[in-house]
Amino acid sequence: MNNLNCSQFRFQFLPPVVYPLRYNFLCGCVVGIASTFRRELCLAFILLVIFLPAFGCTATNMSVEGVRYFNQARYDQAQRAFLEALKREPNNPDIYFNLAETYHQSAKVAITQNEIAKAQQQYDEANKYYRNCLAIDINHLKANRGLAAMLIEIKQPKMAFDHIINWCNISPHLQDPKIELARLYQEWAQIILAQGQKNECDTYNKKTLEILQNVIANDPNNYRAWRAIGFIHENNGNRENAIAAYQKSVALNPNQNDLKNKLLTMGITTINGIGTNLNQTPITTTNNISSLPASESTGIGSIGYDPNENNINKTTTLIR
């Protein structure tokens, strides 16, 4: 070992004399070990730089990023984020749903900007991803709802009804398809009422109520059905029946903060049967950051069907 290298490691408390051979040997060992560690540390740092982004780009992280872009109406970036998430979890139905919702919303924006060709392309993509989601999970509530809403939107009501009726036939043991069929009838009733077709509107409203009453007969504790029944009674001017149905729904699912607020505006401060004082109940808004809202058709009000379900799905399970 030469003295130049050793001198770099001389300790300040040692006297400035010529060191014997054993000190030179010790300094050489220190230099060698330090050099070895430097090489290993450099290699570890390089590997960290290369692979760290990959560890950060999980399907969950990309979905959360996609939802953030979606909420900012930056739909192109949201699409890219969800497509990256899909590469990592190609069998996750929620990611397909998030993509469908993003393309769906992008199509709506294109329509408002009179970009018809772009809107058609975005609708086609939304249709594809809704159906890809349902190919994995036929009972995916938000995807079924979103697809039906989109079909109504593009003036294909028969296809929308056929889709939901087919879902009812495929899953007769579930109540959600029936509730969505009732929802669709109610939405369509409001659309045709706006066109002046009151008699037809009344027919669809009657069908809606019959379906929901059938749901209650099979599942008396279905809070969604009670909520929707309350909405219909309220629209028909049956305030007492509406309040009773809303109270039943909140008693079954106290997390419906918007419905609690609705009852407060109707002068109701307690829930029959459970004695909950709404004025003393903290009413907060929850949000699942990785889940997008399922599309709403223009016909139905938010009180009629639970908006808390519309939070982009649990994409990790999106939308997380």
Tens digit of pLDDT for each residue in 148-165?
999 999 999 999 999 999
Q: Is the pLDDT of residue 9 over 70?
A: no
Lowest mean per-residue pLDDT among 161-165, 229-233, 316-320: 316-320
Q: Please answer whether residues 272 and 298 qualify as being in contact, where contact means their C-beta atoms are separated by less than 8 angstroms.
A: no
What per-residue confidence (pLDDT) applies to 109?
96
Q: Residue 266 forms beta bridges with which residues?
A: none
pTM: 0.70
- Residue found under tokens 């054993």: 22
Average pLDDT over residues 190-197: 90
Residue 34 tokens, joined? 């330090």
- Angstrom distance (rounded) from CA 208 to CA 222: 16
Compute the residue count for the chain.
320
What per-residue confidence (pLDDT) applies to 270?
74
Tens digit of pLDDT for each residue in 75-130?
999 999 999 999 999 999 999 999 999 999 999 999 999 999 999 999 999 999 99
